[in-house]
Structure 1
Amino acid sequence: MKDLKMIGVIPSRYGSTRFPAKPLSDICGKPMVWYVYQQAKKAARLSEVYVATDDQRIVDVCNQYGMNVIMTSDKHKTPNDRVHEVSTKIDADIYVCINGDEPLIDPAVIERSLPEEKDENDLEYFYSNVITTISNPVEVVDPTNIKAVANAQGDAMWASRSPIPYPKGNMEFEYKKIVGVAAFSKKALQFYVDTPRSQVEFTEELDLYRFLENGKKVKLKEIECHTLSVDTPKDLERVRVVMAELLK
């Protein structure tokens, strides 16, 4: 497989209604986005990492800490829209969308999203999500966890906030959830912004259906990992405790 230029993009929106200024939340003396950026920089196959934001306050903090930052539109509806704008400004083969609310993200998860030799024929419209096994039954019914099922080739068949498949005939099914990392080729990002939202996407609020309902592959790359995202102030307190232990 040819050498590919692959960059990481951390979409960071200031004006969340549920948790305003979340990217700048203090964790042991540094903003959360700083931790995400440092973890992303450890992914060896990424040539560079950028924070993509819509707010000057985040730009200022990124500059203060020496992080690459790109100002983007405040009109974007999804993180993928923001990553697409980055793709119009920074040339690369693969763009990895890295959730800005996982300050403890394992660099191996980011690496797992990237193309492998077996993906060589799919690089033009490459789009992948990372999945991991759900170990806690509570997570299966939690709608914030997106459950996904792959076919024998590792491509997505379905994804849902509901438990899928329904365990009618087998209670031992090993459920998988999508982790907050997705990799796109430039053409896949362009397809995303050029294509209207699908009916299932609108219903589930899952943008991978924009690809599935239009006959595009979505690769599911599996890895065993533990995730701890910051969705609420209570989550932030939990991450602060974990980070304080790690920094001892």
Structure 2
Amino acid sequence: MPSAVILFGTTLCFIVLLNCGGHGQVIPPTIDADWEYYMITISYPVQGMPLYARPSYVAAAQLLYNYLPKVKPIHTFKVAGEPKVLAIVKVSFPGALCDIAMGVTNFGLEIETIPMYAFEAFATFVGVQRDLTFTPLRALPCSRVYLFETVVESPGELSAYTEVMRNYTTEVLRLRSAGIIMDAYKYLSVVPNRFAVFSCGTPSFFDQMMMSLNSLNADYGIYAVERAVSLVSWNPYKGKDALCHVSNFHEGVFGFGKKKK
């Protein structure tokens, strides 16, 4: 079955030619290839936040759930030791985030959104076997979750680049199927390639993994972990700080949008 990949500007079109009387069929790499993912961070500004606004970022995080189904939170975390919320959301179109950003800033908080690409779609693009790439997104019940921002750079020509990325993405997907990695995403259009990997384990476990960095470089080109962030799995609609109360009224403070029933 012959295949061809055609590049139109910045749009990748994956075309598989079928033996059906000469007709062709356009097939995306995975079912999520055309969806957009974003990493959203909601945090206090460095200065100027009054003490009484302490729970406001909790209420702001609830906005992520107020715009279902246009915005679908995949993961929501508290950043350990920092007044920050970090979330991965899936959107049907980028404009769906505009009202959320406006609502968060009305709380006096800062919001950062980073576009991401489905890890499975990128893995399919570089030739990873399909049974690995069609594994669904997973949210394991981990007591400890860590975000690792990794950079993978392949010196050399296109064939070397493809091999390095195929080896790296295959290994990540295998670790995910084993339960060590929870989920992964690729930063959109960042050179060298940068990935966000959410993993489960203990600090000593990951320290032992880092000791193998030299051997990883042999297989994955120039591989490095730029940042590690400790996270706490969290649902802003459950738990003792689920709602931001005002005075004696048991009502949540919300910006724009509908409160989830």
Q: For the superposition of Structure 1 and Structure 2, which TM-score range results when normalised by the shorter chain?
A: under 0.3
Q: Please give the TM-score of this superposition, normalised by the length of structure 1.
A: 0.27
Higher strand share: 2
Higher helix share: 1
Q: Please give the TM-score of this superposition, normalised by the length of structure 2.
A: 0.26
